[in-house]
Amino acid sequence: MTDRPLTLMAVHAHPDDEATGTGGILAQYAAEGIRTVLVTCTDGGCGDGKGGVKPGDPGHDPAAVALMRRQELEASCDVLKISDLEMLDYADSGMMGWPSNEAPGSFWQTPVEEGAARLAELMRHYRPDVVVTYDENGFYGHPDHIQANRITMAALEMTALTPKVYWTTMPRSRMQQFGETLREFQEGMPEPDPAEAAAMAEIGLPDDEITTWVDTTAFSGQKFDALAAHASQGENIFFLKMGKERFGEFMGLETFVRVKDATGAAVPENDLFAGLR
């Protein structure tokens, strides 16, 4: 045995991603005395600026946006009681197909080996028992999410560490509810066209392929407040329109697929640290 605390490392693409998909587990495991390490890969400079000014519009200053989002991220970490924040500070690549995808220095343009080497250094320092990131499609195809997956998996190969590794996901049964709830809280939102509906139907996994179901409802208030800390992006975070009670009902369950494991813990499981304590 060792005196080193159990450690969770979450690798995310942008400020605010930590709260959306993993805010519950970060708050819950912190409350249980587990060290929680957040690695945020980009500066978030392709987010909305003050007053909601959009990327590419007059007055949008990526450097100013990045500074603002750094402050919001630190506030979110305080809410979630995250032990350690590490920022790789690559330039935000924007959504797939944006011109910013091609910008020198953007995360999408960074060689995987370079990003992985930096992340591997952090892994050797923190020695995580559990690592969480996105799946190979970045959950919904965002280039920075895809790149976060790539550097995480490559970094693990560079180290001698054998943590349990998880990719965030969502049960497809809940994705159907997501579409219905989105239309409920977004007034005047049109029905998706068949192509969009088909693409949405492919996000997440069939329920029986999900290995890990963590009920974080007791921490959904912290998760809501962490999202609310990213106030500059509030227009894009429709979950905040639900109010805390409805948010807790909808966002209190966090689900994952386990992709690496040396513990032999049985699945399905309800604890990322099953087999480790």
Instruction: Give Cα 117 distance to the centre of its chain.
Output: 20
Task: Please answer whether residues 265 and 273 qualify as being in contact, where contact means their C-beta atoms are separated by less than 8 angstroms.
Answer: no
Backbone angles phi, psi at 258, to 5 degrees: -85, 125
Q: What rounded mean pLDDT belongs to the chain?
A: 91
| Predicted structure pTM score | 0.92
Strand order in the sheet with 84-90: 84-90, 35-42, 7-12, 130-133, 164-169, 253-260, 212-215
Predicted local confidence at residue 191, as pLDDT: 63
AA identity, residue 17: D
252: nearest Cα among 261, 241, 239, 265 = 239
State percent of the chain over pLDDT 90: 75
Could you read off the pLDDT tens digit of each residue along the chain, which spans 277 residues?
457 899 999 999 999 999 998 999 999 999 999 999 999 999 999 999 988 899 989 999 999 999 999 999 999 999 999 999 999 999 999 999 999 999 999 999 999 999 999 999 999 999 999 999 999 998 888 999 999 999 999 999 999 999 999 999 999 887 767 666 666 666 665 666 666 656 666 778 999 999 999 999 999 999 999 999 999 988 777 778 888 888 888 889 999 999 999 999 999 999 999 999 9
Predicted local confidence at residue 1, as pLDDT: 45
Return d(Cα 203, Cα 135) in angstroms, integer.
11
Backbone angles phi, psi at 217, to 5 degrees: -55, -35
Predicted local confidence at residue 172, as pLDDT: 85
Give 185-195 pLDDT, tens digit per residue. 666 656 666 66
Please state whether beta strands 253-260 and 212-215 pair in parallel, antiparallel, or not at all (unpaired).
Answer: antiparallel
Return d(Cα 110, Cα 230) in angstroms, integer.
26
Predicted local confidence at residue 212, as pLDDT: 98
3-state secondary structure of 136: coil
